[in-house]
Amino acid sequence: MLDVSIPLMGNLSRARNFFLHSLLIAVIVLLTACGGTSETTFDDQGVNRTAFDWQLPASVPLPFEPENNPMTEAKFQLGRHLFFDRRLSGNGEQSCADCHQQNIGFTDGLVVSVGSTGDLHPRNAQPLLNVAYNATLTWANPSLVTLEQQILVPLFGEFPVEQGINDGNREEVLDRLRDEPRYQTLFAEAYPELGDPIDYENIVKAIASFVRGMVSFNSDFDRYERGQSSALSASAQQGRKLFFGEELECFHCHGGYNLSDSTFDRTMTFIERPFHNTGLFNINGTGDFPSNNQGVFEITEDPADMGKFRAPSLRNIALTAPYMHDGSLVSLEEVIDFYAAGGRNIESGPHAGDGRLNPFKDGFVTGFDITEQEKADLIAFLNSLTDETFLTNERFSDPWSTL
């Protein structure tokens, strides 16, 4: 059984706590992977295959599936119910879907997310689509490389409280789920080999299966790339050229089929997990970022990692404002102006400093000249990355809303 009681020592710093928390999560997942049976089979290249229907176009590679949690439709459907269920929180007031709403690309539209007890998360909620292809999870934790690891953080984390499940209410939450007749069937179908499958290990695996199955490749951009030349307007086609051109250099961090350089699929042998400092801050000219939001540095304490964050996929980007890890840029226009300037100069206040001169800034964030027409074309291209079918697909919708 998965042990989710993760004590954090009060005399350590927040960053050290989070680092230890992540290491403990990794150990738990590795231990879990050693037991149980697997439905996974392997082809001649050693790649795992299951009967799960990913519903992907032929041009897109299949995501990786962990050997100890192969995809099944039954687990996907159980995870869908759990994802939208507020009973899966300490106080019964918040579901995963409260911070990840389908109609706005599975994000929440807030600057930073709010937990079930009112705690503010230091970071902006990332949209959930094609997460199965992310080489790392969250904005800036290199140690979280599977959904099974990451999901433990919002469920049981204390800094900040998100779902708020802890030692004091853990059994109460499980009892709420056991009292729901629908779960008796869903858990039994997802884990037919287990006598009493309603536990946190299986909850985590089911939610991971649902989120892993949330794939999106049906935008105007996708149809254009598959040969439908009329799918993009003339303006969007010009914006596409700008986006993938060397002058703006957007594609260096947001390229590939998932529009992110932190991408992983089952065809890959070598996996890169890059993080970038974009010059959003340079407090007092020392390269510092705000103390509660310092990127990979919070994990490694390496000065070179100050302000480094993962480049998210730009799919559905037009729907997921505000932008950046702290939600500090409110529109795509502001984002383009920020990159055109090569960083952000904050002239006064506690965060004053010229991010354009940040000593740890990524070499691709150098600034560029752009006309108003070119900016309009670039925004037209970014708008073409919206997958409208993903936003309304009943497969990813709230299964409790029809009750």
Give tens-digit pLDDT for 119-128. 999 999 999 9
* 304/155 same-domain check: no
| Per-residue pLDDT, 19 | 42
* 337/372 same-domain check: yes
* 347/284 same-domain check: yes
Structure tokens at 30: 């590795």
Q: Answer whether 358's CB lies under 8 Å from 341's CB.
A: no
Residue 293, amino acid: N
* Segments of the chain with pLDDT less than 70: 1-50, 403
| Residue that has been written with the tokens 């490389």 in this structure | 145
CA 343 to chain centre: 24
- Residue 201: which H helix or E strand, with range? helix 200-212
Query: Residue 170's domain is classified under what CATH number?
Result: 1.10.760.10
Q: Answer whether 244's CB lies under 8 Å from 255's CB.
A: yes
Q: What one-character DSSP code corresponds to residue 259?
A: T
* 49/159 same-domain check: yes
* 88/175 same-domain check: yes
Does some domain include residue 6?
no
* 211/278 same-domain check: no
Does some domain include residue 400?
no
Name 208's bridge partners. none
Does some domain include residue 5?
no
Structure tokens at 301: 């304490």
Does some domain include residue 303?
yes
Does some domain include residue 396?
no
**In this predicted model, what pLDDT tens digit does every residue of 158-202 receive, in sequence order?**
999 999 999 999 999 999 999 999 999 999 999 999 888 999 999
CA 252 to chain centre: 19
* 61/121 same-domain check: yes
Does some domain include residue 130?
yes
Residue 356, amino acid: R
* 103/35 same-domain check: yes
Does some domain include residue 262?
yes
Report the SS3 class of residue 293. coil
**In this predicted model, what pLDDT tens digit does every residue of 206-259 receive, in sequence order?**
999 999 999 999 999 999 999 999 999 999 999 999 999 999 999 999 999 999
Q: How many whole angstroms separate alpha carbon 340 and alpha carbon 207? A: 39
| Per-residue pLDDT, 196 | 86
Last residue of a domain, one of 216, 246, 262: 216
Last residue of a domain, one of 188, 216, 244: 216
Does some domain include residue 3?
no
* 35/145 same-domain check: yes
Q: Answer whether 204's CB lies under 8 Å from 72's CB.
A: no
Structure tokens at 216: 């999106």
Owning domain of residue 25: 14-216
Q: Number of H helices and number of E strands within the chain? A: 14, 4
Query: Structural domain tally of the chain?
Result: 2
